[in-house]
């Protein structure tokens, strides 16, 4: 996908893909939506709401029964004890309704706790260290060193992000052994902390889902975890590879489906990316961007469908919405791992990336809207949409206020200018964007695990209150956009939390200036 045209588009030192009309920014996806995606959102709502229709009926029946006195019961018994047909029909109806309710009601999925890995201080990579190590490799031209410096300065990354030792070493030493070592440090570090926080025995875990896009050894990463923690032999184990930065929420959705069919289970989700074997040592600028943005990190999440865990769980999973645009060739190829002209492997970014991301986001948000927006917002949005699309009326489109649906937003920390555009499109405040911006600044783009660093930041700030709703949204290669909605089951006390922000949360937020170009 990386061609000479893309190369010319990157010569300015920023990732601002040029079109004949000028610089491409993230499209205003809320101003142009398709009715079929609104319909899809309502279809999901209706298809999963059968059990909700039974709740009012059972509530009315319970309220009516509460008004019946003992004399009424005795009189009813006198009337029915010689009427076998009536007794049978009433009993059958009660059993049928109760069975229908319990069979149609999905199991609750609870997030017991999660943990984010914080590397050792010897893995800290300042901008100066990054440029020094890049220069010492001897593989980058002076022009591309200058290009990387500009990208780094405008990326939104701070001075305390992390890279694995194999990349920081002089000279770099990327090999399979070092990559396995990085994976073990990240995964086991996060899981150890999670098991300590929850008190769950590793052998009680019945489902394991691991996602890592670019590093897929044999045996798999999930097998490494099974071996290290001696997990039970009948564990449902899944290893997801090549699915990009949105794979973390994809793993959550897969785990939700598994918890619907495996009762009384704990599920462990591990989201990470591996840097060691995926550092690009060539001079194709469309492939150099990933060096400047991606950093070391990972997260472990413990989910449960046990009703007894609701009392101690932090959140309940309310919705997951997945969008996949891979059927479109432009979307499929906008983030592509391939060899450059010198046979060096890297991940190339297409000039169509921002347009593709905007279309995927638009589809996902349009589908999610009917599930989460208040009815007043839905009516206003739907009325103006029908007027514009069906009756061709020239009226200003109504942009729903997602701040009425969510208290907290965790948007994948893919780059500073992308966050700027999303803030503008969703009409969010600096306060809403703070977790994403500070995560990008402190930890960089940790791929699929970035959403969990953002939620950890929100907890460390003491912002999570019982009943709060949090929206996690991520996008990645393929092209995919996934969302998850969480409902806080209790107020999170930061004094009792242990996460990677706690020792330095008083230093944040820091000022990160916005930019006009796309990072």
**Catalytic residue (one of 6, 292, 319, 412):** 412
Active site residue 412: yes
Contact 458, 408 (CB under 8 A): yes
Identified catalytic residue from 408, 425, 441, 482: 408
- C-alpha dihedral sign at 91, 96, 99, 100: negative
Beta bridge partners of 267: 207, 303
Residue partners of 6: CB distance under 8 A and separation at least 6: 17, 285, 286, 348, 349, 350, 351
Q: What are φ and ψ of residue 471, in 5° steps?
A: -110, 120
Q: How many Cβ atoms are within 10 Å of 332's Cβ, its own excluded?
A: 17
Please count the other Cβ atoms lying within 10 Å of the Cβ belonging to residue 226. Answer: 20
Let me know: does 267 contact 247? Beta carbons within 8 Å. no
Angle, CA 510 vertex, CA 314 and CA 495 arms, to 5°: 35
Catalytic entry in 211, 445, 482, 499: 445
Q: Is 319 a catalytic residue?
A: no
Report the helix count and the strand count for the chain, using DSSP H and E: 18, 15
Strands 22-23 and 18-19: antiparallel
Dist. CA 34–CA 384, nearest whole Å: 13
3-state secondary structure of 79: helix
Query: Which one is catalytic: 324, 334, 364, 425?
Result: 324
Which SS3 state, helix, strand or coil, does residue 294 take?
strand
Rounded Cα–Cα distance for residues 5 and 12 (Å): 13
**DSSP string of 201-233, one letter each residue:** -GGGEEEEEEE-SS---SS-HHHHHHHHHT--T
Is residue 340 left, alpha or beta, with left meaning phi > 0 and alpha meaning psi from -120 to 50?
Answer: beta
Tell me which residue of 480, 413, 247 sits closest to 422, measured CA to CA. Answer: 413
Catalytic residue, candidates 212, 245, 292, 410: 245
- Residue 495 φ then ψ, to 5°: -65, -20
Active site residue 324: yes
Burial 15-49 (b: 16+ CB within 10 A, else e): bbbeeeeeebbbbebbeebeeebbebbeebeeeee
User: Distance between CA atoms of 17 and 9, rounded to whole angstroms?
Assistant: 6
> CA 505, CA 439: separation in Å to the nearest integer?
11
Do 405 and 123 meet the contact criterion of CB atoms below 8 Å apart?
A: no
Show which residues are catalytic: 245, 324, 408, 412, 445
């Amino acid at each position: 996908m990386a061609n000479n045209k893309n190369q010319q588009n990157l010569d300015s030192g920023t990732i601002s893909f040029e079109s004949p009309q000028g610089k491409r920014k993230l499209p205003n996806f809320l101003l142009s939506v398709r009715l079929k995606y609104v319909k899809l959102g309502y279809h999901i709502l209706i298809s999963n709401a059968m059990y909700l229709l039974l709740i009012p009926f059972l509530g009315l029946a319970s309220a009516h029964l509460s008004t019946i006195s003992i004399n009424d019961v005795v009189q009813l018994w006198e009337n029915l004890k010689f009427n076998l047909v009536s007794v049978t029909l009433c009993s059958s109806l009660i059993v049928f309704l109760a069975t229908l309710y319990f069979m149609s009601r999905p199991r609750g999925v609870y997030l017991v706790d999660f943990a984010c890995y914080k590397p050792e201080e010897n893995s800290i990579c300042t901008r100066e260290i990054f440029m020094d190590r890049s220069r010492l490799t001897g593989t980058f031209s002076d022009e591309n060193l200058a290009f990387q410096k500009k990208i780094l300065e405008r990326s939104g990354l701070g001075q305390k992000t992390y890279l694995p030792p194999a990349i920081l070493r002089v000279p770099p030493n990327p090999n399979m052994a070092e990559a396995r070592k990085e994976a073990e440090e990240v995964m086991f570090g996060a899981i150890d902390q999670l098991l300590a926080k929850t008190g769950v025995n590793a052998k009680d875990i019945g489902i394991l889902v691991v996602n890592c896009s670019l590093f897929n050894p044999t045996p798999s990463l999930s097998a490494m975890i099974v071996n290290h923690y001696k997990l039970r032999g009948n564990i449902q184990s899944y290893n997801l590879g090549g699915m990009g930065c949105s794979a973390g929420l994809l793993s959550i959705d897969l785990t939700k489906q598994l918890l619907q069919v495996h009762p009384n289970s704990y599920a462990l989700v591990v989201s990470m990316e591996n840097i060691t074997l995926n550092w690009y040592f060539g001079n194709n600028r469309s492939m150099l961007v990933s060096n400047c943005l991606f950093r070391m990190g990972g997260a472990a999440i413990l989910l449960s469908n046990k009703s007894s865990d609701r009392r101690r769980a932090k959140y309940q999973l309310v919705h997951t919405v997945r969008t996949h645009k891979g059927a479109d060739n432009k979307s499929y190829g906008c983030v592509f791992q391939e060899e450059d002209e010198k046979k060096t492997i890297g991940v190339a970014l297409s000039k169509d990336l921002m347009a593709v991301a905007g279309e995927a986001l638009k589809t996902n948000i349009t589908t999610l809207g009917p599930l989460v927006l208040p009815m007043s917002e839905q009516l206003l949005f739907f009325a103006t949409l029908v007027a514009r699309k069906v009756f061709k009326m020239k009226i200003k489109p109504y942009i729903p206020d997602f701040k009425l649906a969510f208290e907290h937003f965790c948007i994948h920390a893919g780059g500073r200018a992308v966050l700027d555009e999303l803030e503008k499109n969703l009409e969010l405040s600096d306060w809403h964007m703070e977790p994403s911006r500070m995560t990008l600044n402190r930890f960089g783009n940790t791929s699929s695990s970035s959403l969990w660093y953002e939620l950890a930041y929100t907890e460390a700030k003491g912002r999570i209150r019982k009943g709060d709703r949090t929206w996690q949204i991520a996008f990645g290669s393929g092209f995919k956009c996934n969302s998850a909605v969480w409902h806080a089951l209790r107020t999170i006390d930061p004094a009792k939390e242990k996460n990677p922000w706690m020792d330095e949360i008083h230093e944040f937020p820091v000022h990160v200036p916005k930019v006009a170009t796309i990072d």
